[in-house]
Amino acid sequence: MAMTIIGALFPVFGLILTGYVCGRYDILGDRAFEVLNRFVIAITLPILTFRSIAHMDPRSLAVPVMILAVTAGALTTYALGFAVERRFGRPTGEANIAALCACFSNTGFIGLPVAMLAFGRDSAAPVAVTMLIYSAIVFTVGLIMSEVSLAQAHGTTTGVKLAARSVIRSPLILLALAGVAWSVLGLPLSGPADMLLATLAQATAPCALTAIGIFIALPRRNAAPGPIGRVVTLKLIGQPLITAGFLLLLPPIPPLWAKVAILMAAMPCGASSFVLAGKAGRWAMELSAWAVTLTTSLASLTLIGVLWSLG
């Protein structure tokens, strides 16, 4: 099992290292990570979200306890992370990124292969549901808070209007809603069009992780160890425990679905948090880059313990 987890984590390190080499030797130019970030948040991530939801069996959405437990676990972790960083004096935008790093799991690039190898092909459905929740709900909360923090300088009323306008026009939210409609209506999605969408969607993780590597290679100030340590602890220990607590309090669900919910909560921080961190400034990007790198490194140990506890 240890080799299985390490094998799933290896591509993440490989892509971050690739980006680091590109940044260290200026292979792609000094604005490469900004271009990659924009490409991910404007095109590939929304398409990935749409395609994941559109291909989902609507019956998978009929497990309300699973959806409630995963959502409550993630948003409770987010609230804790946000409150702690605000208590330590971080601005709203920076606290939002710290909180998002603490609760946004890498479900697709790492979670899916680990779950499939640990629990078999039957785990694909609950993993798909968690991917939907993290992409369409958790990331949306982070996006809304990001827009609100940017609009605060314009005053409360104007700021709320600007934030609402930005959120409504967000490609991620629009395509997430389109994906839900596509799935519920049972519309077909296949052939060359689906191949194009799949190709773009598959570029999300490589581009985001490469951008992290490029950013790490750029000249910068040292990362603050306190916030990074708090984020890493919340992500790898706090979130799975909180999610397990909600599953104990709520009505029972099939054991496999409960195990997948906890396992996905224990996954390392997803690179999408870094994509959004660009709006909050260098401190937030520094925090997010190291959160992704360190949680991915430590997950090779913590996931073994989580899988052992899940039997």
Helices first, then strands: H and E counts in the chain? 17, 0
| Position 163 confidence tier, pLDDT thresholds 50, 70, 90 | low
229-251 average pLDDT score: 94
pLDDT of residue 170: 73
Q: Give yes or no for residue 114 having a pLDDT over 70.
A: yes
pLDDT one-digit tens code per residue, 3-53: 767 776 788 788 888 988 998 888 887 678 778 878 888 888 888 878 877
pTM of the predicted structure, to 2 decimals: 0.81
141-158 average pLDDT score: 71
Distance of CA 240 to the CA centre of its chain: 15
269 — phi, psi (to 5°)?
-65, 135
pLDDT of residue 15: 87
Q: Is the dihedral of CA 137, 89, 106, 189 positive or negative?
A: positive
- Alpha-carbon distance 121 to 169, whole Å? 36
Q: Which of 266, 269, 270, 256 is nearest to 303 (CA)?
A: 266
The angle at the Cα of 270, spanning 265 to 271, to the nearest 5 degrees, equals: 175
Q: Give yes or no for residue 154 having a pLDDT over 60.
A: no
When mean pLDDT is compared across 43-52, 66-75, 248-257, the lowest value belongs to 43-52
Q: Give yes or no for residue 261 having a pLDDT over 90.
A: yes
Q: Which of 259, 270, 268, 256 is nearest to 302 (CA)?
A: 268
2-6+18-309: what fold? Answer: Na+/H+ antiporter like fold (1.20.1530)
89 — phi, psi (to 5°)?
90, 10
Quick one: tokens of 151?
């609009």
Decide which of 68 and 175 is more confident.
68
Decide which of 121 and 18 is more confident.
18
Dihedral class, residue 270 (left if φ above 0, else alpha if ψ from -120 to 50, else beta): beta
When mean pLDDT is compared across 12-21, 63-72, 122-131, 216-225, the lowest value belongs to 216-225
Q: Give yes or no for residue 243 having a pLDDT over 80.
A: yes
- Alpha-carbon distance 267 to 74, whole Å? 12
Cβ atoms 139, 172 nearer than 8 A: yes
Q: Give yes or no for residue 98 having a pLDDT over 90.
A: yes
Decide which of 75 and 4 is more confident.
75
The CA-based diameter of the chain, rounded to the nearest angstrom, is 55
| Position 152 confidence tier, pLDDT thresholds 50, 70, 90 | low
pLDDT of residue 244: 95
Cβ atoms 212, 276 nearer than 8 A: no
Q: Give yes or no for residue 58 having a pLDDT over 80.
A: no
Q: For a pLDDT cut of 70, what percent of the chain falls above it?
A: 89
| Position 286 confidence tier, pLDDT thresholds 50, 70, 90 | confident
Give the start-to-end residue ranges of the domains of the chain.
2-6+18-309
Decide which of 72 and 15 is more confident.
72
Looking up tokens 């979670």, which residue turns up? 111
| Position 104 confidence tier, pLDDT thresholds 50, 70, 90 | very high
Q: Which of 131, 167, 168 is nearest to 267 (CA)?
A: 131
Length of the chain (residues): 311
CB atoms within 10 A of CB 292: 28
Q: Which of 196, 283, 214 is nearest to 36 (CA)?
A: 214
pLDDT one-digit tens code per residue, 195-232: 999 999 888 888 888 888 887 777 665 557 888 999 99
Looking up tokens 């993290």, which residue turns up? 134
CB atoms within 10 A of CB 37: 23
pLDDT of residue 222: 59
